[in-house]
Amino acid sequence: MLGEAEPQWLSEEVKTGTTIIAIEFNGGVVLGSDSRVSAGESVVNRVMNKLSPLHDKIYCALSGSAADAQTIAEMVNYQLDVHSMEIGEDPQVRSAATLVKNISYKYKEELSAHLIVAGWDRKEGGQVFATLKGLLTRQPFAVGGSGSSYVYGFVDAEYRKGMGKKECQQFVINTLSLAMNRDGSSGGVAYLVTIDEHGTEENVILGNDLPTFFDQ
């Protein structure tokens, strides 16, 4: 043990090993994420908010390498600011997603981060876009991160079109809770962002307020 004065995780890259989810409902979107940031086996930050604002009514959810994801979000935030000043109005969600996609695609070999972009604009209402590895696709809902594999079945079975706002929020909380219970790299608290034409609402659901399921 004398040989190694520093644990391996200090030099390991910090990953967000995450569960992120975004769902479109009638009139807006709900984004949700867990809050665990890990480096190897150690939890570096147990309260990180992975839902990053790109614009007033457009948010993105971060997963993968923490540094890469944070940097992409900041770059797109800046580019969107410039773009929205140029067009003189609030940007479309599709524009934000395209900016993220451009970076993800151009640097796909160097970067290892996946961002889900979701928001509300006047033209198309609530929209969710996935930008994995540089593709751009609009979906009614999207899940991402290491915890998502455990909940694909749940979201596929339980999602219904035309859910209301409260129902959607509960759906997101349930999904996050299930994923956080099964995935070692997800945990902590749940962050929720609800965007509709009236505004943006940020919520935190603390660990002991999360819903419990049969084995807890």
Active-site residues: which are they? Answer: 18
Q: At its nearest, how many Å lie between another protein and the CB of residue 3?
A: 7
**What is the number of other CB atoms lying within 10 angstroms of the CB of residue 83?**
16
Structure tokens at 31: 């984004």
Query: Within 46-65, which residues bind another protein (CB under 8 A)?
Result: 47-48, 65
Nearer CB in complex with another protein: 103/155: 103
Does residue 136 interact with another protein by CB under 8 A? no
CB closer to another protein, 64 vs 91: 64
For another protein, give the closer residue by CB, 105 or 107. 107
What CA dihedral angle connects 44, 183, 51 and 139, to 10 degrees?
150
67 interacts with another protein by CB under 8 A: yes
C-alpha to C-alpha distance for 36 and 84, rounded to whole angstroms: 32
| Alpha helices for the chain (secondary structure H) | 8-11, 66-87, 93-106, 152-158, 165-182
* AA identity, residue 19: T
**Sign of the four-CA dihedral 171, 177, 182, 185:** positive
Q: Does 158 bind another protein (CB under 8 A)?
A: no
Q: Is 128 in the site for another protein (CB under 8 A)?
A: no
- Write phi, then psi, for 176 (nearest 5 degrees): -60, -45
- 178, 175, 173, 205: which is closest to 189 by C-alpha? 205
Binding piece for another protein, criterion CB under 8 A, among 45-53, 89-97, 126-134, 143-151: 45-53
Name which position in 26, 27, 40, 44 contacts another protein (CB under 8 A): 44
Helix (H, G, I), strand (E, B) or coil at 86: helix
Selected binder of another protein within 13, 156, 158, 197 (CB under 8 A)? 13
Q: Which of 23, 66, 143, 205 binds another protein (CB under 8 A)?
A: 66
Residue 2 vs 157, nearer CB to another protein: 2
> Assign residue 17 a region: left if phi > 0, alpha if psi is -120 to 50, beta otherwise?
left
Q: What are phi and psi of 96, to 5 degrees?
A: -60, -45
User: x/- contact string, 69-88, with another protein (CB under 8 A)?
Assistant: -xx------x----------
Nearer to another protein, 42 or 149 (CB): 42
The reply to whether 132 sits near another protein by the rule CB under 8 A is no
Contacting positions for another protein (CB under 8 A):
1-3, 5-7, 10-11, 13-14, 37, 39, 42, 44-45, 47-48, 65-67, 70-71, 78
